[in-house]
Amino acid sequence: MQEMSEDARLVDALGETAFRTMGALTGIAADAGLSLTQLRVLAILRDRRLRIGDLAEYLGLEKSTMTGLVARASAKGLLAREPNAEDARAVDVVLTPAGHDVARSLEAAIRYALLPLTDRLPAADRRALGALLERMLSYHL
Amino acid sequence: MQEMSEDARLVDALGETAFRTMGALTGIAADAGLSLTQLRVLAILRDRRLRIGDLAEYLGLEKSTMTGLVARASAKGLLAREPNAEDARAVDVVLTPAGHDVARSLEAAIRYALLPLTDRLPAADRRALGALLERMLSYHL
DNA sequence: TATTGTTATACTCTATAACTATA
DNA sequence: TATAGTTATAGAGTATAACAATA
């Protein structure tokens, strides 16, 4: 077997980390009766009010997809549709109080679910890893 | 706004990294006319022959879900179903030559797609990040 | 009897195309 | 005319439950 380059190892590690992390997040969402996309919507709307189209763009989805996602989450009482003040065609999406509660408990569940992945790393390594990831993310785009 | 703890920042960075990485992988899969799950199947089967049930367990899916995934990928000529030598009830899944070709080109596309995320990080940081991620992944499970 | 996988069914996610209302 | 969002439709992914074949 050929030796892997440092870069190839980083790419593989990034991919594996992503799959494990997403797996944990998917499980948490499923426990709450939500899809991963709906978990993302809740997380995004915690500190924002977005129009349907902006939400779709943020998630990389079509507007028609957002219509359904918002409809299902609204039916669960997690978010609400409100008219946009400046454009009568537009619809703002906001979290309901119940949605905020769920978002808060999801955040806690995520921290807890990722513990097995992080807690055996020495504190110094955790700090170093967090700093490196933040630096990497700050470059992108 | 309250200061975030180091651990909270690590968890957030892990989540953000996961979403960006999965986004890139989803795009690559879509360009090849595949879902993210099918991309995973191809990657897994590159160096293995697995039974339907083992594949399902590996991916955290139900066997009935695997039946459909394998059927669709088989219809595309990417993998084949073969009888298991030891158990007449079982079905082995293997990559076809075409499947191996696609898997190989997907691997290259993934490296390329993750470049924007990694290439502006200094070489020393890339090495350090890869090593930290590998250490973290080695602990889990 | 227990296990492997398939089938039938239902729901969610997703996109494309055609449409309505507003700008 | 162009844009924001919805509706209709269709395909893929997913799970549950019932089933056939084999162990």
- pLDDT 10s digits, B15-24: 999 999 999 9
For residue A86, give the DSSP letter.
Answer: S
Instruction: Return the number of other C-beta atoms located less than 10 Å from residue A60's C-beta.
Output: 11
Report percent pLDDT > 90 for chain B: 88
* Residue B75 confidence (pLDDT): 96
Among A48, A15, A122, A16, which Cα is nearest to B6's?
A: A122
Local confidence band at A101 (pLDDT 50, 70, 90 cut-offs): very high
The rounded distance, in Å, linking the Cα atoms of B132 and B10 is: 12
Q: Is the CB of A64 under 7 A from strand C?
A: yes
Question: A15, B21: Cβ pair inside 8 Å?
Answer: yes
Domain span at residue B80 reads 1-139
Domain total of chain B: 1
Contact A132 B111 (CB under 8 A): no
Token representation of residue A58 = 């943020």
Write the CATH number for B133.
1.10.10.10
The tens digit of pLDDT for each residue in A8-42 reads 899 999 999 999 999 999 999 999 999 999 999 99
What share of residues in chain B are helix, strand, coil (percent, to 5)? 70, 10, 25
Report the distance from CA of residue A22 to the C1' of nucleotide C5 in Å, as an integer. Answer: 28
Q: Tell me how close the Cα of B8 comes to any Cα of chain A, in angstroms.
A: 7
Bin A134: left if φ > 0, else alpha if -120 < ψ < 50, else beta.
Answer: alpha
Predicted model pTM? 0.92
Compute the distance between CA of residue B141 and CA of residue B128 in angstroms, rounded to an integer.
22
